[in-house]
Amino acid sequence: MHVLGSRRRSQPAPPHIVWRSLRDPYEAGSRPWLELRDDEVAPRVVAGYAPVLLIWSSLWPHRPLDRVRFDLAREPSVPDCALRWTLTTDGELPSESTLGYLRHRLNYLINNRLRLSYGQ
């Protein structure tokens, strides 16, 4: 397994809420945040252990062996969640330009769109 990228940042919601948002991005009553592009598909939950770990299948059909791992923890002294996404693959390593795109896209979805869905 190869680690293609990872980023840790806080989210303005407790871990159990963030975990639920990742488990079901289209849950009724939640704010939409996972807006997919034409070359992307909705991820499947491959594994999970509430509220500390969740693993998604690939967002990119042309990279079916990629996985996105989410590690969640409570931030000390505040109700926020420390969220780390890690992109891994058991397949071929992407080109530098593709790798940059994958990292940027995940960072945008998680550290921008998801974050904004909590009102921040």
Kindly report the CATH number assigned to the domain that includes residue 17: 3.30.70
Q: 89 is written with which tokens? A: 């693959």
Distance, CA of 59 to CA of 62 (rounded, Å) = 9
For the cut 90, the answer to whether the pLDDT of residue 94 exceeds it is yes
Residue 74 falls within a domain, yes or no? yes
Q: Which of 2-11, 36-45, 68-77 has the lowest average pLDDT?
A: 68-77
* Inter-residue contact 44 to 36 (CB < 8 Å): no
pLDDT at 98 over 80: yes
What's the whole-model pTM score? 0.95
Q: Is 46 a domain residue?
A: no
Is residue 49 one of the residues assigned to a domain? Answer: no
Q: Is residue 55 part of a domain?
A: no
Number of domains in the chain: 1
User: What is the reported pLDDT for 120?
Assistant: 64
Once rounded to an integer, what is the mean pLDDT over residues 87-115?
A: 97
Ramachandran angles phi, psi of 86, nearest 5°: -135, 120
Whole-number Å distance between alpha carbons of 16 and 86: 19
Decide if 19 is inside a domain.
yes
Which range of residues forms the domain containing residue 31?
Answer: 2-39+62-117
